[in-house]
Copies of this chain bind each other. A is one copy, B any other.
Amino acid sequence: MTARDLIKNLSALPDGPVTVAGWVDTVRDQKKVQFVVLRDESGAVQLVNPRTTDADGAVVADEPATTISGLSQGTFVVATGELKHDERVKLGGIEIKLASLVVETASIPEAPIAADSGIDKRMDWRFLDLREPKHNLIFRIQTTFEHAMREYWIDNDFIEIHTPKLMASASESRAELFEVGYFETKAYLAQSPQFFKQMAQSAGFGKIFEVGPAFRADPSFTSRHATEFTSVDSEVSWIDSHEDVMKLHEDLIVAGFTAVKAKHGEQIKELFGIDIVVPSTPFPRIPLAEAKRIVAERGYEVPRHDDDMDPEGERQISAYVKEVFDHEFVFLTDYASSIRPFYHMRHADDATLTNSYDLIFNGVEISTGAQREHRIEVLEAQAREKGLDPEELEFYLDFFRYGVPPHGGFGMGLARVLMLMLHLSNLRETTYLFRGPTRLLP
């Protein structure tokens, strides 16, 4: 490896020789002194080079002065010099007096995007967009959030599974299905790991999790839909109802937020102006029917013919929960069977309602969870009622014919959680490389 000091570690070092490596953020090429702000994955530091003058006081074209004069933004360099602590330097109170500067790879001089470029343009040049410290931080936060959930799962003896994304049939509605040419036949991209995480329950795995891609051929262009997204899934056996799933779910969220606040809280405050709040448990739980009444009382009638909530309704109920419970999360529970998939278990005493929930965070749905119907006769009847092709489902229904424990779980969109955590308005910002109906590049 290139021997180098990470910029974030410099301030703790004594004055003396250091080597840093990274890319050029800005250059101020003045007559008597040159300044370069150099950035690496950990931070930014000012490099300074007082120009040499000859006996007549004229500037000499020596090194590294000439190299600095030719630097473009984005050029990757290795710089050595003397670290100096100096409180007057705005950028961290340190600077490096350059001894040498070696260009590793030069950048084309004209950057195709600027900080104020539109989001679509920025997505075209995502690799440059991600050099922005604020954007880089999003993926550090994601890393920490995921790892904290994984530690919870591991500590609680969950098994990690990797379910296939190539399927012979739809895993959810056939409406948003990508078709793949598959040798002599065709396959479909998994819209969720639903069937396969349930299979793990029949297989006696007990408790599982998966973090992986899911695909929806959804033609919409909203700020919160993508054709490919990272789905966080967990499923557990021997639950009594969806209440057990919600308990697991809120524990995971709390684990994730606690770790993010501890590791990145200060930087999030600095770059996003947000105080990360670790949510208290239990999260508020409101049956959907009651939520609709509350929202109506606030003057908003959900303009839908089915029993579902709509995005504005979700914002309204979130606002209510924030006011009344001072909470950013709310579980809306007991959705109508008519708007839930066939595999959601229905209430024992009212088949029009399901043992299910949506988790709303800062006004937007981030997850759906449920107890699954594990009784094969009931499951088959519900599938028929929803008009599904029993033949396509045979492989799935088999999971329930050889014994299966009661179980349930949830799927959660990772980019949505990050988007709402950081008060961003578009999940393009929290997706490494966004995929939408008209975007397959880069």
A residues at B contact (CB < 8 Å) = 1-2, 4, 21-24, 39-42, 72, 74-76, 104-108, 111, 125-128, 130-131, 136, 139-140, 142-143, 146-147, 150, 154, 158-168, 178-183, 185, 187, 189, 195-196, 199-200, 202-207, 211-213, 215, 217, 219, 227-228, 230, 236-240, 244, 374-376, 395-396, 398-406, 414, 432-433, 435, 437-438, 440-442
Give the chain B neighbours of A181 by CB distance below 8 A. 178-180
Per assembly, the copies of the chain total: 2
- Provide the bound-state CA to CA distance between A158 and B140, in Å: 8
Cross-chain contact A213 with B162 (CB below 8 angstroms): yes
Q: Chain B residue with minimal CB distance to A183?
A: B437
Q: Taking A40-B204, A126-B203 as contacts, is the C-beta distance between A143 and B147 under 8 angstroms?
A: no
Cross-chain contact A187 with B440 (CB below 8 angstroms): yes
Q: Chain B residue with minimal CB distance to A178?
A: B180
Q: Chain B residue with minimal CB distance to A154?
A: B147
Q: Taking A163-B433, A215-B166 as contacts, is the C-beta distance between A130 and B374 under 8 angstroms?
A: no
- Provide the bound-state CA to CA distance between A399 and B130, in Å: 12
- Within the complex, which residue of B167, B207, B440 is in contact with A440, where a contact is CB–CB below 8 Å? B167
Q: Taking A178-B182, A240-B2, A403-B23 as contacts, is the C-beta distance between A440 and B127 under 8 angstroms?
A: no
Give the chain B neighbours of A202 by CB distance below 8 A. 127
- Provide the bound-state CA to CA distance between A39 and B206, in Å: 11
How many Å from the CB of A436 to the closest CB on chain B?
10
The 6 A-B pairs of least Cβ separation, nearest first, read A41-B206, A130-B203, A107-B403, A168-B440, A2-B238, A395-B442
- Within the complex, which residue of B39, B189, B203 is in contact with A180, where a contact is CB–CB below 8 Å? B189
Q: Taking A143-B154, A159-B139 as contacts, is the C-beta distance between A74 and B196 under 8 angstroms?
A: no
Cross-chain contact B166 with A440 (CB below 8 angstroms): yes
- Within the complex, which residue of B136, B167, B196, B239 is in contact with A1, where a contact is CB–CB below 8 Å? B239
Cross-chain contact B398 with A442 (CB below 8 angstroms): yes
